């Protein structure tokens, strides 16, 4: 029996991934690659939707791929590749843009957030059509499941709508994918501003835990994380967003349940709790960091692995694209 297909990706938008990417996405990918036919991309075309330095973008792309592997994505089992290496992504995005409503694209909350952050002049058409490119990523591979954090849910829903619309207009070309969102870890918050999502493009560095940071730096950030004045280690998202966020991180990385962690720290202060969490984070990230840095020491080998996998991805993607071209009525080249 063939395994169901899984697709997901991340933007190479920083030198390091942050802990939200790790807990909200990578940990699930690592687990799910065992039972699914998984495709994971570094979506460099998406990263172009905001200003970038060319040399830095190339470096961030390698670094992101290295972190996937260091975190346990096996490039011999899963198809781990760079989006721009497979030209079908940009081509299908164009076709899908012709079945996407202008208003529909304008309702994407991430676009609304980002465009208000950057201002109209710095907001590109690419940022507007970003979700259409994401739909192309997913639909090219006849994807069944898309594991993401909850900020990407709306984009996966748009992808489903576009697939259904295209299939009913032109005949079935696409599998309609389902999002997979791990409810309890779907959103990791900023350590300094625990009601805002932790993000690679956060305003201040102090609230973000980077996978590739020096462990002692991460430990310091945890010790300085915003909590509250109550002093008890208790999960209450509404009234104790800081402590609740730290509990979610603790539970996700240690594989323990939140009540057992609450019990362990009952009657002890936040200092002890944070020390415990720092230890958990350093133990988890330390080896990932070492492996990623070792992989980055040999960029030629990393590039070779990415090229082999781009070849595998291309085979699947080109098949879907050819079918789509036929269905919409593009004349085949003789």
Beta carbon of residue 119, minimum distance to ligand TYM (angstroms, whole number): 20
Exactly one of 3, 112, 197, 327 is catalytic; which is it? Answer: 197
To the query of whether residue 319 is one of the catalytic residues in this protein, the response is: no
Beta carbon of residue 109, minimum distance to ligand TYM (angstroms, whole number): 13
Tokens for 59, please give them: 């470096």
How far is the C-alpha of 236 from the C-alpha of 242, rounded, in Å? 9
Nearer Cβ to ligand TYM (198/278): 198
Name, in order, each residue with C-beta under 8 angstroms of 254's C-beta and a sequence gap of 6 or more. Answer: 261, 280
How far is the C-alpha of 193 from the C-alpha of 184, rounded, in Å? 19
Nearer Cβ to ligand TYM (176/326): 176
Pick the closest to residue 10 from 53, 73, 88, 56 (CA basis).
Answer: 73
Nearer Cβ to ligand TYM (83/227): 83
Cβ atoms 119, 299 nearer than 8 A: no
Cβ atoms 261, 250 nearer than 8 A: yes
Cβ atoms 81, 41 nearer than 8 A: yes
Helix, strand, or coil (residue 137): helix
Beta carbon of residue 198, minimum distance to ligand TYM (angstroms, whole number): 4
Beta carbon of residue 32, minimum distance to ligand TYM (angstroms, whole number): 13
How far is the C-alpha of 315 from the C-alpha of 44, rounded, in Å? 20
Nearer Cβ to ligand TYM (9/241): 9
Beta carbon of residue 243, minimum distance to ligand TYM (angstroms, whole number): 17
To the query of whether residue 197 is one of the catalytic residues in this protein, the response is: yes
Contacts to ligand TYM by CB under 6 A: 7-11, 20-21, 24-25, 43, 46, 134, 137-138, 146, 148-149, 151-152, 155, 186-188, 197-199
Helix, strand, or coil (residue 127): helix
Nearer Cβ to ligand TYM (30/275): 30
To the query of whether residue 114 is one of the catalytic residues in this protein, the response is: yes
Exactly one of 200, 221, 240, 274 is catalytic; which is it? Answer: 200
Strand ranges of the sheet holding 37-42, from the earlier edge strand across to the other edge? 79-82, 37-42, 5-10, 145-147, 178-180
Give the residue numbers marked as catalytic: 114, 197, 200
């Amino acid at each position: 029996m063939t395994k169901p297909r899984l697709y997901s990706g991340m933007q190479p938008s920083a030198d390091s991934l942050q802990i939200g990417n790790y807990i909200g996405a990578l940990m699930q990918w690592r687990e799910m690659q065992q039972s699914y036919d998984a495709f994971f991309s570094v979506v460099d075309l998406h990263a172009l939707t905001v200003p970038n330095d060319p040399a830095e973008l190339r470096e961030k792309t390698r670094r992101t791929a290295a972190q996937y592997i260091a975190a346990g994505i096996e490039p011999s089992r899963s198809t781990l590749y760079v989006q721009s290496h497979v030209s079908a992504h940009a081509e299908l995005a164009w076709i899908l843009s012709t079945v996407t409503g202008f208003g529909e694209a304008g309702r994407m909350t991430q676009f609304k957030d980002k465009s208000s952050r950057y201002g109209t002049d710095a907001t590109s058409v690419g940022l507007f059509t970003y979700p259409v490119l994401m739909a192309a990523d997913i639909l090219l591979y006849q994807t069944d499941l898309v594991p993401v954090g909850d900020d990407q849910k709306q984009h996966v829903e748009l992808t489903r709508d576009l697939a259904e619309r295209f299939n009913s207009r032109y005949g079935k070309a696409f599998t309609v994918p389902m999002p997979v969102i791990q409810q309890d870890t779907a959103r990791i918050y900023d350590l300094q501003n625990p009601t805002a999502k932790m993000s690679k493009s956060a305003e201040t560095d102090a609230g973000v835990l980077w996978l590739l940071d020096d462990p002692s730096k991460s430990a310091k950030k945890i010790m300085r994380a915003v909590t509250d004045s109550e002093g008890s280690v208790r999960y209450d998202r509404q009234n104790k967003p800081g402590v609740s966020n730290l509990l979610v991180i603790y539970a996700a990385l240690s594989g323990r349940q939140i009540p057992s962690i609450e019990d362990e720290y009952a009657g002890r202060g936040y200092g002890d709790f944070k020390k415990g969490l720092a230890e958990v984070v350093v133990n988890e990230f330390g080896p990932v960091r070492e492996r990623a840095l070792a992989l980055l020491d040999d960029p030629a080998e990393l590039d070779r692995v990415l090229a082999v996998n781009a070849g595998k991805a291309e085979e699947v993607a080109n098949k879907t694209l050819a079918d789509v071209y036929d269905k919409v009525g593009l004349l085949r080249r003789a």
